[in-house]
Amino acid sequence: MTIPTNLAERASELRNLINKHNYQYYHLDNPDVTDSEYDRLFRELQQIETDYPALLTADSPTQRVGGAALDKFNQITHAMPMLSLDNVFDADELKSFEQRVCDWLNTNETQLYAAEPKLDGLAISIRYENGVLKQAATRGDGAVGEDVTANVRTIPTVPLKLMGDNVPEVIEIRGEIFMPKDGFEALNKAQVEENKKPFVNPRNAAAGSLRQLDSKITATRPLAMYCYGLGEIQGMERPKSHTEAMNLIAGWGCRISPELKQVKGVQGCLNYIQQLGERRDSLPYEIDGVVFKVDSIALQERLGFVSRAPRWAIAYKFPAQEEMTVVEDIEIQVGRTGALTPVARLKPVFVGGVTVSNATLHNQDEILRKDVRVGDTVIVRRAGDVIPEVVQVVLSRRPEHTSVFSMPTQCPICQSEVERVEGEAIARCSGGLYCPAQRKEAIKHFASRKAMDVDGLGDKLVEQLVDEGLIDDVADLFKLTVEQLSSLERMGEKSAINLINALQAAKQTKFARFLFALGIREVGEATARALASHFLTLDALQKADEETLLEIEDVGSIVAHHIMTFFHQPHNQEVIEQLLAVGVNWPEEQKIAADSSLSGKTIVLTGTLDQLSRSEAKEKLLALGAKVAGSVSKKTDYVVAGRDAGSKLTKAESLGVAVVDESTLVDWLNQEK
């Protein structure tokens, strides 16, 4: 078949265009065409390639969708071995590393290192010949790996063709394939929905996805790559330093870590560790440490390697976020709304930087799905501030005679029947405020900081007060006497007086806080605020029917139903009357001026404010009808950037969201008074 020359040209032009758009999208996070325009170009190229298969090239961006499934992976011998890294865990070990480097180099000078995150994924070596991706291999045992070319080709951040005119004949680019956190979560959600087993962590998900014999499956998985090294090179001199090498390949369209920095000596390394460590949980991917590499390639060559690890690089490992331990018991906690939550009592284990002895098992479905049993050895995970979680049972270590856990049919606290609404995951105690556990939680919530903010009334004290029979409901709090309180264990007269004063002070509150404090199901802070500013008085809210409640944005029929049920219950009416009788009060709500220029605007506060606190600024903005959001998106109207504003400011700038400084904010607030 003869191919029209103009089509051959067009195909090549389309490939370049699509590659350029991909680069903008995946590397610069700055798309320069709409999705539909991109799709149009993509389909046009696909059409040409279908009509004229001779025009299809191996580096065509259409070839990322995966091909025929394999029955096994071929083995590939690495042209240069793929090394591993030695680990250190603290500053002293890091110092010894530098000392060893200096000894070998016979110098006393502090070294210059390239520092980058240690990504938690799998190492890969990708071979480009004349700029075109020819082969991709896993590390394997370092000498021989597996041919995963078809799979690697499906990963959007991996260039199928290197850009630029200084690309050598042969170059092996090495790096880590990983799965970003958001992609991992989406994948696991889909796995569960399809009744498939979720992956234990992003690393396993990345490994499972890359080692698929069917590359069409890999193509659907959210994999990404950061490059961190070079293997074989032909037709070009090896760059002089790691930093230079990384900049060079970045110029060819390879993605390198944005965290790559040069640091000097152990102190520079420690500063880097500190700074990256603080951001560990907010990074979009998992890291398990930091890698330091002597930057100069000449020095690297002098240092060489022993067995499988280079003498010129070291991994500083962060505390592990997953550990194994034993489930000693499974207990049921009863929450404020009666929800029963199974909790695993664990043999204490140090994980994610703290000692963990409890982990939530969420609900019956979760516990059955994971089949966690008393006596099991489990993998516990704690990442950042997230509540520790049991990820998986280590079945090979299950002792004999364990039994499947089943949720109780009666509340373990008050023996009321347990209900589970069809289609809901949560089982609930039907005892309501008869149940001491629910009562305790309701009172804790009432006193909490964002509710009535009773200073000094902590969870333990509430439990003590309920257990001693001194209070039954929230109104009873205000009837407590100094004598009663000082009779409690570990409570002196001074603390008793302080608590009475704090309760007295808490009576003066705000309508929205009061509503939130009542603990109506599904009424969080934001809904409470919306209710307060819509109804203005408690009386009006109590009388509201469903239709009126539904007028409020964010209130749907379920929430409306919870609100009405709450106010119709005689017990709740009584408690509210008592609260008002003991003097709980709030200033009259003002109708939000609909003409306020900030009304309906979405504002994000970031950085440090000097003239007022973040919470003051938030309250004032809310009072003017603005919405205050936590993260920047296209829907944000303004970002108020205080001192040292960071990623939110950058994001606002990249999305073209208007940014104002603190003094503008203060002007706005003053004008609207």
Question: Active-site residues: which are they?
Answer: 118
CB of 288 to ligand IVH, least distance (A): 8
Q: How many helices (H) and strands (E) does the chain have?
A: 24, 24
Nearer to ligand IVH, 242 or 370 (CB): 242
Instruction: Please say which residue, 79 or 83, places its beta carbon nearer to ligand IVH.
Output: 83
Contact region with ligand IVH (CB under 6 A), list: 10-18, 80-88, 370-378, 613-621: 80-88
Min dist. Cβ of residue 143 to ligand IVH (A): 13
Please name the helix (run of DSSP H) or strand (run of DSSP E) that holds residue 132, with its range, or none.
strand 132-138
On whether the CB atoms of residues 586 and 509 are closer than 8 A, the answer is: yes
CB closer to ligand IVH, 116 vs 589: 116
CA distances from 549 to 353, 489, 537, 539, 557 (A): 46, 46, 14, 14, 9
- Are the beta carbons of 318 and 289 closer than 8 angstroms? yes
Of 98, 172, 176, 662, the residue at the interface with ligand IVH (CB under 6 A) is 176
**Segment near ligand IVH (CB under 6 A); pick from 66-74, 79-87, 195-203, 578-586:** 79-87
Which of residues 79, 83, 374, 502 is near ligand IVH by CB under 6 A?
A: 83
Decide if 601 contacts 592 (C-beta within 8 A): no
Residue 207 within binding range of ligand IVH, rule CB under 6 A? no
Residues 311-330 binding ligand IVH (CB under 6 A) are 313, 315
Q: Applying CB under 6 A, does 544 fall inside the site for ligand IVH?
A: no
- At residue 434's C-alpha, the angle toward residues 428 and 435, to 5°, is 50
Q: Are 138 and 79 in contact (CB under 8 A)?
A: no
User: Given the complex with ligand IVH, which of 245 and 506 has the nearer CB atom?
Assistant: 245
Q: How far is the CB of 135 from ligand IVH (least distance, A)?
A: 18
Least separation in angstroms between CB 147 and ligand IVH: 18
* Between 139 and 627, CB nearer to ligand IVH: 139
Q: Closer to ligand IVH at the Cβ: 317 or 507?
A: 317
- Closest chain position to ligand IVH (CB): 123
CB 611 within 8 A of CB 631: no
Q: Is 531 in the site for ligand IVH (CB under 6 A)?
A: no
Q: Supply the minimum distance, in Å, between the C-beta of residue 301 and ligand IVH.
A: 13
Is 242 a residue that touches ligand IVH (CB under 6 A)?
A: no
- Measure the CA–CA gap between 17 and 6, rounded to whole angstroms: 16
Other C-beta atoms lying within 10 Å of the C-beta of residue 317: 16
| Crossing angle (nearest 10°) for helices 614-623 and 662-671 | 40
Please say which residue, 176 or 473, places its beta carbon nearer to ligand IVH: 176
Give residue 279's identity as a one-letter amino acid code: R
In contact, 202 and 120? CB cutoff 8 Å:
yes
Which one, 225 or 532, has the nearer CB to ligand IVH? Answer: 225
Residue from 12, 46, 63, 84 binding ligand IVH (CB under 6 A): 84
Number of residues that bind ligand IVH (CB under 6 A): 15
The answer to whether 445 contacts ligand IVH (rule: CB under 6 A) is no
Contacting residue, 139, 381, 534, 562, with ligand IVH by CB under 6 A: 139
Q: What x/- string results for residues 95 through 134 when contact with ligand IVH is judged by CB under 6 A?
A: ---------------------x-xx---x-----------
Q: CB of 174: closest distance to ligand IVH in angstroms?
A: 7
Rounded to whole angstroms, what are the CA distances from 8 to 1, 3, 54, 251, 560?
13, 7, 9, 27, 63
Q: How far apart are CA 581 and CA 587, in angstroms?
A: 16
94 or 461: CB nearest ligand IVH: 94
The DSSP symbol for 55 reads G
Q: Is 570 left (phi over 0), alpha (psi -120 to 50) or beta?
A: alpha
Phi/psi for 341 (5° steps) reads -115, 120
Give the Cα separation of 122 and 138 in Å (integer). Answer: 8
| Contact in structure between 249 and 173 (CB atoms under 8 Å) | yes
d(CA 267, CA 252) in angstroms, rounded, equals 33
Q: Which of residues 555-584 bind ligand IVH (CB under 6 A)?
A: none
Residues 12-71 that bind ligand IVH (CB under 6 A): none
CA dihedral 515, 519, 521, 526 (to 10 degrees): 50
* Cβ at position 312, least distance to ligand IVH in Å: 8
Where does this chain bind ligand IVH (CB under 6 A)?
83-85, 116, 118-119, 123, 139, 176, 228-229, 291, 310, 313, 315
